[in-house]
A and B are shown apart, each in its own frame.
Chain A
Amino acid sequence: GDSVTQMEGPVTLSEEAFLTINCTYTATGYPSLFWYVQYPGEGLQLLLKATKADDKGSNKGFEATYRKETTSFHLEKGSVQVSDSAVYFCALGVTSYDKVIFGPGTSLSVIP
């Protein structure tokens, strides 16, 4: 069945460091791919998305590219801030029914 794997955390970085969180997926058909973020004490929210191969999603300085050949959707940010501390979830969407399958999440802590 459809599934998502992402790098285990927790990840701790210093402010202004480069961030990569790896994500790979298994899916039948052509899913949409997402990164959702859960800030402390808040609900899950969409960070960025890509709907087809080679699309690049971006938001708040974060980027991820839909790589069909490697079935990957790695999240990157060039310079993290303390406010980026959160749990990041890679997810795939079965778009015909808005069913979204989530990875296990990666906790990120950014220290000053």
Chain B
Amino acid sequence: DAGVTQSPTHLIKTRGQQVTLRCSPKSGHDTVSWYQQALGQGPQFIFQYYEEEERQRGNFPDRFSGHQFPNYSSELNVNALLLGDSALYLCASSGGRTGGTGELFFGEGSRLTVL
């Protein structure tokens, strides 16, 4: 049973560029949440997708957008990159028999460096 998979694992961009990160949820899960984890800090909630719609959003600007596909996989897009966007981006899935319990299953993350 595959867990949560994310790609790419590492990437380097320059200021002003755009980036797309991808996530496949754990089998049986239908909800995908994205988090930003800056170095030495806790994960910060960006947004959550369910049934291909953004269901909740944290305190992040509109430069951060996302999408969920019919197979429940998801993308996180960040436009007009800033140096401060450098972080580990985590995807978490939930649903199935643990749905509604708050238990999340995380991927290993995509490390974004903005130069």
Residues of A within 8 A of B (CB): 4, 31-32, 34, 42-46, 49, 51, 89, 92-105
Taking the complex as formed, is B48 at the interface, i.e. its CB lies under 8 A from any CB of chain A?
A: yes
> Please, which residue of chain B has its CB at the minimum distance from the CB of A94?
B102
| Cβ A44 vs Cβ B90 within 8 A | yes
Task: Kindly provide the distance from the CB of A71 to the nearest chain B CB, expressed in whole angstroms.
Answer: 17
- Total CB contacts across the A-B interface at under 8 A: 73
Residues of B within 8 A of A (CB): 4, 31, 33, 35, 40-45, 48, 50, 55-56, 90, 92, 94-95, 99-109
| Cβ B109 vs Cβ A31 within 8 A | no
| Cβ A99 vs Cβ B45 within 8 A | yes
> Please, which residue of chain B has its CB at the minimum distance from the CB of A93?
B102
| Cβ B103 vs Cβ A34 within 8 A | yes
Interface centre among A34, A43, A97, A98 (most CB of B within 10 A): A98
